[in-house]
Structure formats: structure tokens, C-alpha cells
Amino acid sequence: MGREELIRRLQEARQEIEPGQDVTVGPFRPEDALGVALAYYEIYGGSFPLEHVYDPEEILRRNATEDQHTVVARTPRGEVVGLAGLFRHAPNPGLYEAGQLMVLPGYRRGKVATSLHREVFDNLLRRLGLPVLFLEATGNHTASQHLAHSEGLVFTGLEVECMPSLAYAKEGGGSRNVSLFLMFKVFEKASGAVHLPEAYREFCEGVYAKLGTPRSILPPAPLSGETLADRFFLPESGLLRLTVHRPGKDFAGVVAAAEAEAGQGLVQVFLNLGEAAAPRAVDVLRDRGYFFGGLLPHWFGPDGLLLQKVSREPDWDAIQVCGPEAEAVRRVVREDFERVRAPGPGS
């Protein structure tokens, strides 16, 4: 079933929810699936980039597995007025993303958002016993940055203009795509080894110190063999994600093919720092105009590194920051973008 049909069904099922009712927060129940889909439609219209959020059957299926854990705010009538949760996003199945926090406009004056947040961070996280957690905090306002920072998450990167602005149109979004700050918290402080590119070593070592995760830095090796990678394309936002499990001698060609598919869109490349050839892959990307995006602890099991390429300069002033740590990350990313534009060797 396509997006248009899913939206049509939600429009037919939509009913006004009386404001001011008492609200309780608890784990997802099968009967919540339609209400969750309706909440997405109410807040984002039909513009959320992932189609499955409008499909009650898919929402039900995902919550019946370990892929997704949703908490829901309900009225006494069972109407869904807010939600939040944890879901798998990365190649490492032990790494979950915290997100989806949303509350219907008629219920934003109370403590619904705070109750949902507390249910995720105080109860759900403890019950699942996760080793690591990450969050993508929006850059068009600072609320989610403040909330995550208060929970001890550390700023590790910035994905520039990767979320379609239409998804935020009902919330007063701008004309440019919305940037997202990467934020991580590591609960199990195990040591590890990574192959860090020299260009980003200082930043990454600073992040490791803040996370309390010791890392040994191993030497690089040449690119060899064939590249093992997955592509994921979101035409609505012009975003193509290339997840590189192992870079090979054909890596430049794999990247060129991804760029051709993305056209003038944003290309993000996720590299496995457990692979000895990762620093050489970074050299290839930097020569092609890619700049720093972020450090991704435990992304593949081993840590990951994000690089990105855009067709025009991001609107840096539109990226809001909640404090000096977020500002430092924005500055590092911007300076590396300026390196891409600068003439001369390595540009």
C-alpha cells in the first residue's frame, strides 16, 4: 500500500480529540497503532520522510519485535495524544535511537512531553539494559538538544540539512532542510580499537574522553578487495546514505555511483572504523569534496565515522545551538566544509 492510500485512510479515520482530558503514559498496546499513525499525520501532515509511520499494520509489526519500543500518552478513551520511543537504526542491533517524541498541539501546555521523556529514559532504558544510545537532535530549535544534554548525551557530530523542511511545515519549519545534531551516551565503558584518520583524530579523541570510552588507535592499511556497502535513498529529502561495512579498491567507483543516484542531493557516507582501510577511504572522500559529519560510537559494533557532501553551502546561521558543546561541533563541521571549498592541495 502506497503513501497516498495510507494518508487517505488516515484522513477518513481522523476524529477531533477533546482537549484537557487526563493522560496516562505507558508501553505501546496493539490498539494504539492507528492512534500512533494519526499522531504522525496530525503533526507532520503527509510529509514525514519514512512511509511506514502512516501504516498502522507496520507500526504494530515493528512494536511486536525488538526493532522498536514505543511509549504512548493516552486519554481515558484510548486516544493517542503523544508518543516517544527507542528503535533500531544502525547496523549494530544493540544500538538504539531515542526519538519520535511528539505531542498533539492540544496537549502541549501540560507535562505530557516530560512524562513521555521520563518513561523512555527512566523506565524503558533500564528495562532494556542498552549498552549505548544515540539521538538526532533537531537544529531548527534547541529543545531536543537541551533535553538530551540533560540526560548526559554528548554531541558527536552534525548532519547538515538532511531532514526535509516539509516535515516541519506544520511546526513552522523553514525552506531549507533541517540539520540534526548527533548525540550519544555509552553505558558500557568497554575499551576498543579504531583506525582513525589523522584529519579527525583530535576531535574524535575529545569525544571519547567525554564519553569515558578508551580507544587504542591502530595504523591504517591500503584499500584492498571489494567494497561491501548498502545504499538507502530518500527522494523526498534528496538524502542518500551509503553505509560502508568494508571499503575496497573499488571504493571511489562505489561512491561515484551513489553520487549519481543522489543527483544534487546530500550524500552521507558511514565508514566502519574497525576496518584498517577506513583512513584511506576518508582520503578518497575528502578528495571528492566530502567533509566531516560526526563520530558514531558502536555504530557497526566497532565505531563509525560520518562524512557528507552537499551541492550548496549550508545555512549555518539557521542551525540553532543550545550551548558551547553544540557550537563547537557546528564550528568543526563548518571549518571542514570550508576546507572543501578552499583552493589548493587536498581541496
pLDDT digits (tens, 9 = 90+) for 179-220: 999 999 999 888 899 999 999 999 999 999 999 999 999 999
Residues 306 and 208 in one domain: yes
CATH of the domain at 43: 3.40.630.30
Separation CA 67–CA 298 (nearest Å): 17
**Taking the C-alpha atoms of 248, 253, 256 and 257 in order, what is their torsion angle to the nearest 10 degrees?**
-100
pLDDT digits (tens, 9 = 90+) for 8-61: 999 999 999 999 999 999 999 999 999 999 999 999 999 888 899 999 999 999
- Residue ending a domain, among 95, 122, 149, is 122
CA distance between the termini of the chain: 46
pLDDT at residue 346, rounded to an integer: 47
**Is 129 within a domain?**
no
Residues 199 and 322 in one domain: yes
Residues 197 and 117 in one domain: no
**Model confidence at 347: pLDDT above 50:** no
Q: 217 pairs with which residues across the strands?
A: 194
**Is 140 within a domain?**
no
Q: 172: burial class by Cβ within 10 Å (0-12, 13-18, 19+)?
A: exposed
Separation CA 271–CA 268 (nearest Å): 10
**Is 250 within a domain?**
yes
| Residue 96 phi, psi dihedral angles, 5° rounding | -115, 150
Mean pLDDT taken over the chain:
93
**Model confidence at 113: pLDDT above 70:** yes
Q: What is the pTM of this model?
A: 0.92
Between the alpha carbon of residue 18 and those of residues 45, 109, 222, the distances in Å are 20, 14, 63
HSE-up of 149 (CA within 13 Å, CB side)? 16
Provide the number of structural domains found in the chain. Answer: 2
Angle of CA points 122, 96, 195, to nearest 5°:
125
pLDDT digits (tens, 9 = 90+) for 301-341: 999 999 999 999 999 999 999 999 999 999 999 999 999 88
pLDDT at residue 345, rounded to an integer: 54
C-alpha grid cell, residue 300: 557497526
**Is 324 within a domain?**
yes
pLDDT digits (tens, 9 = 90+) for 130-185: 999 999 999 999 999 999 999 999 999 999 999 887 655 555 555 789 999 999 99
**Is 137 within a domain?**
no
Are 134 and 98 in contact by the 8 Å Cβ rule? The answer is yes
Domain that holds residue 235: 192-341
**Is 150 within a domain?**
no
Residues 238 and 116 in one domain: no
- Residue ending a domain, among 122, 151, 182, is 122
